[in-house]
Amino acid sequence: MPYLKNTEEQDKHQYSLIIMDSKNLTKEYTNGEVTIVWQSGKCIHAAQCVKNNPDVFKPKEKPWITPEGSSTEKIIETINKCPSGALTYYLNTQ
């Protein structure tokens, strides 16, 4: 559902229209070393993440991704098996 957001750059009577699509969310989760990026619109629910790393990917819990439950190496290995590309990652710089 769209909502209006006042922006500081604009006059106080002008608003930007922001459309949020609840079927295409992008969320990020980090363990400090790696950040997991999940794009809900790409997910085909193949459950490869859950099968390969159930300590991190727990679809019945909130948040459903808890990266502190596994090593960075295993997280990356699991993400690389995602068939839809819904899961990606980036390494955090110090």
pLDDT digits (tens, 9 = 90+) for 1-54: 444 444 444 444 455 444 456 678 899 999 999 999 999 999 999 999 999 999
State how far the Cα of 74 lies from the Cα of 80, in Å rounded to an integer. 10
pLDDT of residue 24: 85
pLDDT of residue 94: 61
- What global pTM score does this model have? 0.75
pLDDT in tens, 49-92: 999 999 999 999 999 999 999 999 999 999 999 999 999 999 99
Is the sign of the CA dihedral 57, 61, 67, 69 positive or negative?
negative
